[in-house]
Structure 1
């Protein structure tokens, strides 16, 4: 449980609640975007009971943490091994965890810039579309939740557009394909594609603010 910051390395215990992630002063300094994201999860009851480890083990396709960990290039630490976020999230409610394997912590290098923006379902506060963007020593990463038929994913279109110019203006002509996006009672795939572009622009603007 709890948050540790050593230099640029941030480690969060799997049993840390969303509330504790959102209010931890060390995290607010090292990666304010993640603390802000945690403050937007559910309602106060959910934030005081739900944990970062539980959220990523469940890998709900509309959950916030999977997008954050993908965009942060995080490592998921279990009782048996370390797994890169890029290889951890496998599909709807599926992860790389094996039987008897338990998440103990997540770790990442604090990015130079980061932000998260989501268009949320007014009832559940789950993301209809959420976009987490980061700029760090390894370049730009952008992850999308709430929209993919196979769950959370990195957006090549957003990353390519921001690679040379990390500015909302660089996303002016962004076209996100609707193929592979979800259609449900909340939003069509085309609407989600448009929302991804809108949330990406807002996230980059917030990261640069």
Structure 2
């Protein structure tokens, strides 16, 4: 599979989905970016990892040595995916969006997301995917509906995200994470243009 550094440096990725290249370039530190892979990250499905948000936020398809799995069906929960025993990810196909943006508020030492938000507008409509806030990556329908009605950072203002089911830990409460989601979504939309 492709390393984070390769995704971040790819002229093809930068042209097609700049937000994906930006996301990859901010994963972990230099050592992690040069050894870690997109496939490894997706297979691990860490609840604060960045790639699950991009994959779900773009409506990507994960291909294994046995089948193709839409992102909406791939992520099952905390460190759990649709992969069967011994099944290996061989590629990930991303639809090219009209617009896409990524913002994360990260834990400084690990650089994992306390909250990360990936937004896109494209062939599959508007998608908003959040990582770091709960037990796994998730879509936020309230933000998707607002952005579908009018793609602007201001559309995210005032959107209330329910804190129930979100994580509380030493980095932030569920309520704090819920408040961060629309703020970061607005910033991601602004970055996407």
TM-score range, shorter chain: over 0.9
What TM-score comes out, normalization by structure 1 length? 0.91
Distance 1:154 1:64 in 2: 14
1:122 aligned to 2:108?
A: yes
| 1:108-163 Cα deviation digits (max 9, x unpaired) | 21100001000000100000000000000221000000001x31000111101111
1:68 aligned to 2:41?
A: no
Structure 1 segment 152-163 matched on structure 2, within 5 A: 152-163=137-148
1:99 aligned to 2:99?
A: no
Q: Which residue of 2 aligns with 1:34?
A: 20
Secondary structure of 2:48's aligned partner: coil
| 1:83-112 Cα deviation digits (max 9, x unpaired) | 000000000000000012100000021100
Equivalent residue for 2:149, pick from 156, 164, 173: 164
Moved over 6 A (4+): none
Q: Which residue of 2 aligns with 1:201?
A: 186
Question: Which structure: greater helix fraction?
Answer: 2
Secondary structure of 2:94's aligned partner: strand
Q: Which runs of 5+ in 1 are unaligned?
A: 1-14
Q: Which residue of 1 aligns with 2:29?
A: 43
Distance 2:34 2:124 in 1: 34
Distance 1:106 1:28 in 2: 16
Q: How many pairs does the alignment contain? A: 193
What TM-score comes out, normalization by structure 2 length? 0.99
Distance 1:119 1:100 in 2: 34
Distance 2:109 2:94 in 1: 31
| 1:162-181 Cα deviation digits (max 9, x unpaired) | 11101011112211111111
Q: Which runs of 5+ in 2 are unaligned?
A: none
Q: Which residue of 1 aligns with 2:94?
A: 108
